[in-house]
Amino acid sequence: MPDSTPVRVVRELARRGYNAERDAVTLIADSPDPDAAVERVVDDAGDDALTLTAADVRDALGDGPRTSARSADAASTDGGATARAPETGGDADDAARRGSTREPAANDDERGGASDANALDTPARGGTTRNGDHADPMDQVDATGRADATSTGRDGRSPTPPEVAGDVTGHSTGAGEYGDFVTVFRDRYERLSKKLRGRVNHRPTEALDAMPDGSDAAIVGMVNDVRSTASGHWLVELEDTNGTFPALIMKDRDWADVVDELLLDEVIAIEGTLADDGGILFADSVHFPDVPRTYRPSTADRHVQAALVSDVHVGSQEFAGDRWDAFADWLHAPEADAVEYLLIGGDMVEGVGVYPDQDEELDIVDVYEQYRAFSERLKDVPGDMEIIMIPGNHDAVRLAEPQPGFDENLRDIMSAHDARIVGNPATVTVEGVDVLMYHGVSLDEVIAEHGDESVSYDAPHNAMAQLLKKRHVAPQYGGRMRVAPEEKDYLVIDDIPDVFHTGHVHKLGIGAYHNVTLINSGSWQEQTAFQQSVNIDPDVGTAPILDLDTLDVTVRKF
């Protein structure tokens, strides 16, 4: 085999239906005759083996662990995998304990700290945008361009299985009846109003009428209606569990443009003064459930990275297979040694019947065949990486959110890589870092409704920040958003995540909001006819790489 032996080994194994750990690939590539070694290893592997381990290869080749010294020699530029020390169960246990013993945040507002990164950073390809810590993109190249002998690989540790929270999978109860909607909205109101009640002097709407004219008062409610008055002021009607009450936002207030941000059904508080003749509250301030500016995210306690991708769209004629190949090859390279996790934020496949005339652009027309093809793509990913995936609106699960994870049938099809399959949304804790994964359909709505240009397809992270501010991944019900009523509102962002990962809009967006890292991960689908018709120029083949120990982000382009 030529120079890029490890890459070829991966291909040859994948062609025979096997996925392999990076150590296994290295052992084969380093053997005197890699082609023959592939054959021997495959012959030796059981029919039900899916991922070949280094031990399988040693057994098949009758070799000792002769590559164990090679990680110190990672400077070799063969572009292939680097040998790593064998995994040990003890380390995994240690890491699992670390993951679960992170400081409990009884009241998330108490996790405050020093820095106040108010600004939403702008995306910078190839550079970090984390809190301004590394404002110069070149810092980042230095920080992560570690394809050299100093790379220590994984210190013999292995990815820790993530913990999952807030996932509807297996818990769906809603029958879609009227009463279920009442329940879910009540739950949303209770949980979000709790976050606001401590901050304002809240009065139930029914008590307001009885208060003396001119009193100071505050209402915590769901936005029921927003309309402009004849004189250009804004009337915002809030609803709580007792009724509704109107608040007037005067157009000449310097904060009046907060109205641009409001979405129907979100929970806010308005403080103000009751009018002399009662019946209306003159607003002095508006509060969102929000994330405190002083929020301090948790980080991993070792150098380890995660690749965050989404919108693979296998089965579409526009699926960028060559770019995916390049990405998968890179994951096998020494440079990607620390990349132990792959998070996929939905739209694994193109699906069928998602949008009108979509069938004209399908490369694979059967949705199960699409998942089989996707599963083949996963086999190119190093077998020892931990993969976590949620569904999106193109996937074969119910469209209404929260979406449960893939069913048994689809799991079987995708079993080659034993990925962790969870619902949309879900919070996964990797190495102590809470990552809120949400596909992102509501971003279309937030971008369409927001009155300010800063929230646009070119800056999807600014739309993500809006979701964090509202502490809900899909605040506005109806319109483009379909919501399945469950006994609780899984779409409320109860606990503040350390990282928020979305996709869907096919545009790269990296930023931070009150120290929460925001990553919208782009796509693996070239521009479709529809996107061309509405001037969406997608970011294709982009893989943001997140340092779990520093939360710095580097964007790789393939």
Q: Is 404 in contact with 398 (CB distance < 8 Å)?
A: yes
Residue 130's identity, in one-letter code, is R
Furthest-apart CA pair in the chain: how many Å? 91
User: Closer to Zn ion at the Cβ: 8 or 394?
Assistant: 394
Q: Which DSSP string do the residues of 183-230 spell out, in sequence order?
A: HHHHHHHHHHHHHHHTTS-B--HHHHTTSPTT-EEEEEEEEEEEEE-T
Q: Which residue number has the CB closest to ligand D5M?
A: 355
**Which x/- pattern over 293-312 shows residues binding Fe ion (rule: CB under 5 A)?**
------------------x-
Least CB distance from residue 224 to Zn ion, whole Å?
A: 29
Stretch that binds ligand D5M, among 91-99, 241-249, 259-267, 502-510 (CB under 6 A): 502-510
Residue 347 binds Fe ion, judged by CB under 5 A: yes
Residue 353's identity, in one-letter code, is G
Residue 552 site contact among Zn ion, ligand D5M, Fe ion, none (CB < 5 to 8 Å, cut-off depends on kind): none
**Rounded distance, CA 387 to CA 307, Å?**
10
Least CB distance from residue 393 to Zn ion, whole Å?
A: 4
User: Closer to Fe ion at the Cβ: 347 or 401?
Assistant: 347
Residue 360's identity, in one-letter code, is E
User: Closer to ligand D5M at the Cβ: 32 or 353?
Assistant: 353
Q: Is 241 in contact with 288 (CB distance < 8 Å)?
A: no
Segment holding 314, helix H or strand E: none
Residue 377 binds ligand D5M, judged by CB under 6 A: no
Q: Which residue number has the CB closest to Zn ion?
A: 504
**Rounded distance, CA 20 to CA 50, Å?**
8
User: Closer to ligand D5M at the Cβ: 261 or 347?
Assistant: 347
**Which x/- pattern over 404-443 shows residues binding ligand D5M (rule: CB under 6 A)?**
----------------------------------------
The 3-class SS string of 58-115 reads: HHHHCCCCCCCCHHHHCCCCCCCCCCCCCCCHHHHHHHHHHHHCCCCCCCHHHCECCC
386-405 residues near Zn ion, rule: CB under 5 A: 392-393
3-state secondary structure of 487: coil
**Which x/- pattern over 522-551 shows residues binding ligand D5M (rule: CB under 6 A)?**
--------xx----x---------------
Please enumerate in sequence order all residues whose Cβ is within 8 A of that of 203, keeping only pairs 6 or more positions apart, or say none. 211, 217, 218, 219
Least CB distance from residue 358 to Zn ion, whole Å?
A: 12
User: Closer to ligand D5M at the Cβ: 30 or 401?
Assistant: 401
Residue 459 binds ligand D5M, judged by CB under 6 A: no
Residues of the shown chain interacting with ligand D5M in the complex, contacts defined by CB under 6 A = 311, 347, 355, 393-394, 444, 504-506, 530-531, 536
Residues found near Zn ion in the complex (CB under 5 A): 347, 392-393, 504
